[in-house]
Amino acid sequence: MTLRSWATPMVIGAFLVMAVSGVLMFFHLGGGLNTFAHEWAGWALVVGGIAHLMLNWRPFTSYPKRPLAAGIIGVFAVILGLSFIPLGGSEEGRGGDLRLVMGAMGNARVATLAELSGQTPEAVIAALAEQGIAGAGTDDTVTSLSGGSRERQGLILSAAFAGMRTSE
């Protein structure tokens, strides 16, 4: 098997997965294995891209000599550099605050979820039971009910807040 036989097909396949999963993630429509596929396709794109670059080194070296190509490459180099600047008030960047909130929600009792969602504890317990989380009590926490599974925590929070009353 030669480098040429797999490098470009790998770049094409990885780009396809990255493009579709990236657009879905941007619009918060992805689910299931979307993030997993996006992350691993990124590695495939890196490997395929390096192999493709090795095969096409001479044509590649001509791009920086063209003003438009050099400008486009430069813009993306600047964007890459700026992407390392954290946003928001946390060291972890934009997602840090959300992680803090989700960590706190993991410690929330069912009674607290009921209060936050404007429902009775019984209504939240019933909503959890409908999602297959039976036997929940008012003093159980999201973490204890989920067994530490983030996916299950999301299910619990979605069920708890599905019947949320708003002030409108």
Of 16, 71, 15, the C-alpha closest to 46 is: 15
User: Is the predicted pLDDT of residue 129 greater than 80, yes or no?
Assistant: yes
pLDDT band at residue 88 under the 50/70/90 scheme:
low
CA–CA separation, 122 and 110 (whole Å):
9
Residue 137 DSSP class: -
DSSP H or E run through 95: helix 94-106
Chain-wide mean pLDDT for the chain? Answer: 85
- In this prediction, residues 82-105 reach a mean pLDDT of 68
Quote the distance between the C-alpha of residue 18 and its chain's center: 13
